[in-house]
């Protein structure tokens, strides 16, 4: 495990401390979890952008054409 020193404004530090207490975790655990969540978001966006860049419209249209022509089930209609 690696130690990391970060500087936070006092107001942010206090809010992190309050939220960590509310979640019954340490400040370190809270920050590690927050960083992990942010990483997941960034990596997911990278993945989706890459997939979109490699997508082909004709493949999408072929996929849509394969969908059955049926009315939506009750509760799914617009």
pTM for the model stands at 0.69
What tens digit of pLDDT does each residue of 56-73 get? 999 999 999 999 888 889
Q: Is the pLDDT of residue 78 over 90?
A: no
**Model confidence band, residue 1 (pLDDT cutoffs 50, 70, 90):** confident
Cα angle 4-9-11, degrees, rounded to a multiple of 5: 125
Query: In the structure encoding, which two tokens stand for residue 25, read together?
Result: 């975790």
Contact between residue 58 and residue 68 where contact means Cβ atoms under 8 Å apart:
no
- Average confidence score pLDDT of the chain: 95
Nearest 5°: phi and psi at 72? -65, 155
Report which DSSP code applies to 74: T
Confidence band for 51, pLDDT divided at 50, 70 and 90: very high
Whether 16 and 5 have beta carbons less than 8 Å apart is answered as no
Nearest residue to 31 via CA among 50, 4, 53, 59: 4
Question: Between residues 77 and 22, which one has the greater pLDDT?
Answer: 22
């Amino acid at each position: 495990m690696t130690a990391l020193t970060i500087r936070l404004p006092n107001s942010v530090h206090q809010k992190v401390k309050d939220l960590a207490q509310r979640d019954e975790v340490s400040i370190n655990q809270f920050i590690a979890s927050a960083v992990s969540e942010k990483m997941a978001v960034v990596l997911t966006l990278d993945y989706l952008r890459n997939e979109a860049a490699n997508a082909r419209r004709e493949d999408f249209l072929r996929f849509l054409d394969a969908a059955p022509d049926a009315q939506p089930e009750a509760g799914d209609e617009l």
